[in-house]
Amino acid sequence: MNTSKKILVTGGAGYIGSHTVVELISAGFEPVIVDNLSASDTTLLEGIEKITGKKPNFHKGDCRDKSFLNQVFKTQGPIQCVMHFAASKAVGESVEKPLEYHQNNLGSLMTVLDAMRENQVTDFIFSSSCTVYGQPDTIPVTESAPFKRAESPYGATKQICERILEDVYPTGFRIVSLRYFNPIGAHPSALMGELPIGIPNNLVPYVTQTAAGVRKKLTVFGNDYNTPDGSCVRDFIHVVDLALVHVKALEYLLRDKHNRLYDVFNVGTGKGVSVLELVNTFIRTTGVKLPFVIGPRRPGDIEKVYADPSRANEALNWQAKYSLEDALKHAWAWEQKIRKAG
Ligand code: NAD
Ligand code: WQD
């Protein structure tokens, strides 16, 4: 029986992967990080060390490089489970570089699965996204909602990856796909958080950079949607809650004795929050000025989406515990920290 505590975390130098590494360590696991640093640097690895007092077991390399992966599997000894975060994730960039997105996101997934098979590792946790649903017909959205045509090549890669997982699991994999809604926030210690490259596309990094004076003003993309205040509605989930669900999904796989398994869970708070509500909550909880204007709708935006997380609540025994206020306070503390560090 594989009793190894080692968990291979691809993309572990990135935003969600690094927070998961911290929670894995505090739950007694031994993460082995693989990352090519294509969308990150060593900042969050340093954060992991400061928070846990443990030097991360980090291997720089590409998930599409099977001989590199084989070497990691061979030298690290038995691996209990692979958590696969490594992917390119910028929706706008995926429209400019669709081939690169398919190559990286599909190529990485297939090569990792192939290397797992060669090294007799069966358990796999995949970073999926609410983007697979598009604009669902019914909200809150459940896992059984049909996929709509993806709005972007990035979204298409997540739909195709899930299909690949569904196809391969009967050949001897035990797989959990986690469909994250909108991850926000930072570690409460302010030692780790999001590090967007260039001008942020996502709302919260744009908010904190504007509050820090790096950007002149925030534009709220549209106030004429069919929502209570006219702005879009999302399910914003604290990154530490997201990290914790990975530990719960791992425990779920460890409990389950089936030889084959494929399960999908929504990971959200279950609460819809509008863009304007988030902006006002940020101003109220931090007391910081946040210049903003209302602008036109952003093409491709979904009007409203939030999760029905009851499957994850029940089967994984997991519940989001941080509030929106916590997430925004933590994101702001992290922003101030990186501005101070220059
Ligand atoms: P991130 O960019 O911060 O982290 C991804 C990490 O993967 C980076 O450190 C990058 O260097 C690495 N990477 C990329 N391609 C690689 C490759 N071929 N080989 C090795 N390393 C590689 O992104 P994140 O926000 O932490 O996202 C993690 C996962 O969660 C991704 O799969 C993403 O698609 C998914 N996801 C993210 C969000 C979000 O809004 N952040 C929402 C839903 C799903
Ligand atoms: C949230 C809301 C914007 C910036 C994206 C991906 C999705 C998933 C999560 C990976 C929207 C509004 C934003 C700004 C604004 N990622 N906004 N002004 O688009 O819900 O989801 O990240 O899987 O696939 O598409 O997140 O943070 O970009 O936007 O008004 O400057 O904030 O219009 O309504 P989104 P977001």
Q: Are strands 30-35 and 57-60 parallel, antiparallel or unpaired?
A: parallel
Domains of the chain listed by start with CATH number: 6-185+237-269+308-321 (3.40.50.720)
Both tokens assigned to 111: 């090569």
By alpha-carbon position, which residue is closest to atom 43 of ligand 1? Answer: 129
Could you give the angle at the alpha carbon of 249 between the alpha carbons of 264 and 310, nearest 5°?
55
Condensed to tens digits (0 to 9), the pLDDT of residues 78-121 reads 999 999 999 999 999 999 999 999 999 999 999 999 999 999 99
- In the chain, what is the straight-line distance between the N-terminal and C-terminal CA atoms, in Å? 49
Give residue 341's pLDDT band: very low, low, confident or very high (50, 70, 90).
confident
Best residue among 158, 203, 227, 273 to mutate for probing ligand 2's pocket (most ligand atoms within 8 Å of CB) is 203
Single-letter residue type at 339: R
State the ligand closest to the CA atom of 38.
1
Entry pTM:
0.98
pLDDT at 212: 97
Q: Name the β-bridge partners of 184.
A: 238
Q: Is 208 in the pocket of ligand 1 (CB under 6 A)?
A: no
**Any residues with Cβ below 6 Å from ligand 2, and which?**
89, 91, 129, 131, 182, 201-203, 206, 218-221, 232, 234, 275, 298, 301
Single-letter residue type at 292: F
Mean pLDDT of the chain: 97
By three-state DSSP, how is residue 293 classified? strand
By alpha-carbon position, which residue is closest to atom 10 of ligand 1? Answer: 39
pLDDT at 40: 97
Q: Is the pLDDT of residue 342 over 80?
A: no
CA 98 to chain centre: 20
pLDDT at 331: 98
Task: Indicate the Cα dihedral angle 151, 155, 161, 166, nearest 10°.
Answer: -60
